[in-house]
Structure 1
Amino acid sequence: MITDLDARAVADDLERQIAHWLAAATTFQDAEEFASEAAWRSVESYVGIPLRRHLGVVVGELVDIGTATLALTRAAHRDATALPAAVSGVQQFRRRFTQVETTLDFFGDAVSSRTSPQLRAALQSLDALAMASMQPVLARAGSAPVPVLTYVDKGMGASILRAGIRLWAPGSINPVAAIKIVRHNLYRPTSLFHEAGHQVAALTGWVPALEASLTRALASDPQLQSMWSAWSSEIAADVFAFAHTGYASVTALYDVVGDARTILRWPIGDPHPVGWLRTLLGCAFCRQVYGHGPWDDLETAMLALFPLRQADVTVRALLERSRQRMDAIADSCLTAPIPGLDGRPIASAVDPARVSPTALAELERVAGTALWTSPHWRRTEGIRIVALAGLREAERPAEAATWVERARSWMNTGALAA
């Protein structure tokens, strides 16, 4: 039983605790606690303004809750029956503080990754490229444009925190699509379009439609149905990247999944296709749309380096049966009817034929050297320029450093118009 003396001691300590947490929370009202003013200015207004406004609301709500909790602890001084509510309030505020801090830290770190003028220009270019890639599909689907904040980080693969999902702070909805680009692919950013594809898929009903399409294509093999349908979300994003950057997206993906330790493994619950199958699927996309080409050689090289006998015996048969039906699987992915596009496939809004090797060679011929310097080409063909640079890097390994440097120079010379 709590005595009057104990109650006063508890109430005093609760007031002390909440005073500390509330004082710390008020520092969040200064956005420079998480990123410099220069870093915030480096984010385009269509991203930075709604993001800072949203974060300001989140912090304001936190401070209001803290102020109310402080009042609860003071009430407990006068009335011991208020102690349980005060104790609960302080505990809840501690947890909410951590959730808000996590939200602010995430965006502060993302904004702060723009550490130099060159990197700032590159990421601004990627912001605009991602928005441009989504625009034709979202416009057809009647959805508003999605602001994009790209940031650079270590690792092998990109990721996205989609706009519209709940953030760590309770009741907080993400106002922007935050896309991580890893350093090794910063200047071959086909993964940017994979991540943008996740955002588009969420707004158009693409994933359930693709799952249904795969289920129909594999109707005679329930095991394959079950395996492939679980990968629909990642496959839709791969299709989106392919539609925008063609073969470049396939080689870039293989460079990520081509780890001898994992390429033939199927981890339980992994939403990504087995890397071996994912690469075969990308090569099948290319053959479906472009016919034969360098993707045939990539497939041959992968099969020679990672023969099926290296796979665990428990998945080997599934991998082989998938390989035998890869053309049908690829067709079902490319032709899946997307609800947001009135039941039409992705090619109705983003035609992958525009980034065929032939089409990109024609773009290169018509534009000449101006392709890499002209604001006009930057504005009108930015995504196809990324596809071209990635294609040439893949086709001409002896010149890879030259093409990476060309892409780097192009991206660092200024942001693209969306």
Structure 2
Amino acid sequence: MASDAVGFLHTEALALMSRLELVQPFALTDTMVPAAGLMPAAQSAIEAYLVDGRSRLREAVGEFIRWSSSAHARRVEPAVAQRRFTFLRLRFNVVLTHLDIFAHAISQRSEHRVGVWLSGMDMAAQDAIRLPGIYEPPPIICYLERGGGGAIRRARTRLPGGGHSPVAVIRMPRERMVGTGIASSLFHEVGHQAAALLDLATSLHETLGSLANQQRPEALAWQLWDRWLNEILADFWAIARVGIGSTLGLISIVTLPRVFVFRLSNDDPHPVPWLRVRLSCAIGAALFPDPQWQELERVWMTLYPKPAAMSGHGGLFDLLESTMPSLVTLIANHRPRRLKGRSLKEVLEVDRIAPWRLRQLWPALASSRRALFALTPCIALAAISQARSDQQIDPAQERELVGALLTHWALRGTLDMSLFCANAKGGTRRLAALA
């Protein structure tokens, strides 16, 4: 009877091995135009991680097959053999789970236009996370999903069933694929990865925690800012990378019925939407002094005037408003160890997208697509969002320009890599910007 049970498990293990052999690398299964493909660093990191998982599983299944056909296995209690096989099957399911996590992101690369735009978003995200000399950023890949919010599975974080993600995977809502709203959500998610690489939350939590423990009325406000810190840091990063486009994109997300805009939830990691927009304007004003931030905040408060009584939270909202300037100053001037004495504001080089500078650039950019394409993704998207805010372009023009940029970045990345590979000496000469 025992031998029959082990023989059954032996056959099941053979079937497991057969199904495992059907799992192929993405490079052999997904069809997409070259410009929609992943950047080599991301492709190789994902494939290497999955190949390693399949190799380990294949060895384990092979070992079980050899053991189950031995004389020793026939003397083992069936329940013992079953337990060993069950753990093997669980490992098989983990391998497939990891495959599906990346397959969902990669399969969209075959969609017409969307695939190329995703590749362009990959390039923009890499530019947004770049801090030369500070850290080595992980590869980033993007994909689209239904719903109103973005999300990120950060690189080097635990995957379901074990192991750590070799790349950062950013989920973008499909409805955001309009104009510079793309950059607002994309760079917010990039901010989560960057904050983790710099370990910003740890040191800031210490400061905010000390403020929250003071015997003063403001302590409760600092407790809430501390609870919302991760999302605030991501917003800060997005504003530093794309300027007013980040705040405009945020407004489009949180334009909701009043009950949601003013709702204070105990389990929401995001600040109250009404305060979050105002905080975004305050951060913008601190990084890029300009009257536009006060004007945008005035518009927001006209759309959502503060009620006389905030459902019992009126006093708390007053405390949050009064501590907001100190919070912004604290974050902008924060000097974590990884920055070696420099502040967050300094290392992000925010002067590159100061409103006055972008306004000076715009006449040349408006008359020359080549000049726009020559800019880095962050500066190009910031220039377009500034022009939209200044009513130099309308939403249709903004959408067309952003779409053209995403296509250009995807194509340039593909052609540059092809040129690099074709050059026997591995030269780094870049192609001229494509008009």
* Alignment TM class, shorter chain as reference: 0.7 to 0.9
Give the 3-state SS of the residue equivalent to 1:180 in structure 2: strand
1:156-167 residue pairs with structure 2 within 5 A? 156-167=148-159
C-alpha change, 1:74 and 1:39, in structure 2 (3 Å) is farther
Where does the alignment leave 5 or more consecutive residues of structure 1 unmatched? none
List per-residue Cα deviations over 1:331-357 (Å, max 9, x = no partner).
122222222101422222113333232
**Match of residue 197 from structure 2:** 203
Choose which of 334, 346, 359 in structure 2 pairs with 1:348: 346
1:148 aligns with 2:117: no
Choose which of 238, 242, 246 in structure 2 pairs with 1:249: 246
1:388 aligns with 2:379: no
1:410 aligns with 2:405: yes
Which stretch shifts more, 241-250 or 310-319?
310-319
Task: Count residues with an aligned counterpart.
Answer: 406
Q: Is the 8 A contact 1:22 1:66 kept in 2?
A: yes
Report the RMSD for the aligned CA atoms in angstroms: 2.9
**Match of residue 132 from structure 1:** 127
C-alpha change, 1:97 and 1:319, in structure 2 (3 Å) is farther
**Match of residue 303 from structure 1:** 301
**Match of residue 66 from structure 2:** 71
Where does the alignment leave 5 or more consecutive residues of structure 2 unmatched? 417-435
**Match of residue 102 from structure 1:** 97
Choose which of 236, 240, 249 in structure 1 pairs with 2:237: 240
Cα drift, residue 314 of structure 1: 5.0
- Letter of the 1:24 counterpart: R
1:19-418 residue pairs with structure 2 within 5 A? 19-31=14-26, 35-36=30-31, 42-75=37-70, 78-116=73-111, 118-136=113-131, 139-141=132-134, 143-170=135-162, 172-186=163-177, 187-188=179-180, 189-215=183-209, 219=214, 220=216, 221-260=218-257, 261-309=259-307, 313=311, 315-370=313-368, 372-374=369-371, 377-396=372-391, 399-415=394-410
Cα drift, residue 22 of structure 1: 2.8
Q: What is the TM-score normalised by the length of structure 2?
A: 0.83
C-alpha distance in 2 between matches for 1:184 and 1:392: 22
Cα drift, residue 359 of structure 1: 1.5
C-alpha change, 1:310 and 1:157, in structure 2 (3 Å) is farther
List per-residue Cα deviations over 1:259-298 (Å, max 9, x = no partner).
2253222333322222222111101112223335333333
C-alpha distance in 2 between matches for 1:50 and 1:41: 17
Give the 3-state SS of the residue equivalent to 2:113 in structure 1: helix
Cα drift, residue 242 of structure 1: 0.9
List per-residue Cα deviations over 1:364-397 (Å, max 9, x = no partner).
1344522x334xx535432111112223334439
C-alpha distance in 2 between matches for 1:288 and 1:79: 74
Give the structure with the higher percent helix: 1
Q: Which runs of 4+ in 1 moved over 6 A?
A: none
Which stretch shifts more, 54-63 or 145-154?
145-154
Cα drift, residue 304 of structure 1: 3.6
C-alpha distance in 2 between matches for 1:30 and 1:327: 51
Cα drift, residue 78 of structure 1: 4.4
Q: Is the 8 A contact 1:62 1:96 kept in 2?
A: yes
C-alpha change, 1:292 and 1:281, in structure 2 (3 Å) is same
Give the 3-state SS of the residue equivalent to 1:272 in structure 2: coil
Which stretch shifts more, 395-404 or 270-279?
395-404
Q: Is the 8 A contact 1:147 1:177 kept in 2?
A: yes
**Match of residue 420 from structure 2:** none
C-alpha distance in 2 between matches for 1:314 and 1:98: 49
C-alpha change, 1:68 and 1:157, in structure 2 (3 Å) is same
C-alpha change, 1:94 and 1:394, in structure 2 (3 Å) is farther
Cα drift, residue 13 of structure 1: 3.1
Cα drift, residue 215 of structure 1: 4.3
C-alpha change, 1:316 and 1:397, in structure 2 (3 Å) is farther
List per-residue Cα deviations over 1:305-354 (Å, max 9, x = no partner).
43443986354432231012222222122222222101422222113333
C-alpha change, 1:119 and 1:8, in structure 2 (3 Å) is same
List per-residue Cα deviations over 1:82-110 (Å, max 9, x = no partner).
53442122211222222221211121111
C-alpha change, 1:71 and 1:307, in structure 2 (3 Å) is farther
C-alpha change, 1:154 and 1:325, in structure 2 (3 Å) is same
C-alpha distance in 2 between matches for 1:46 and 1:113: 19
- Letter of the 2:278 counterpart: L
C-alpha distance in 1 between matches for 2:27 and 2:288: 50
Q: What is the TM-score normalised by the length of structure 1?
A: 0.87
- Letter of the 2:122 counterpart: D
Q: Is the 8 A contact 2:125 2:140 kept in 1?
A: yes
Cα drift, residue 38 of structure 1: 5.7
C-alpha change, 1:335 and 1:414, in structure 2 (3 Å) is closer
C-alpha distance in 1 between matches for 2:381 and 2:249: 12
- Letter of the 2:59 counterpart: D
C-alpha change, 1:84 and 1:108, in structure 2 (3 Å) is same
- Letter of the 2:242 counterpart: T
Q: Is the 8 A contact 1:197 1:240 kept in 2?
A: yes
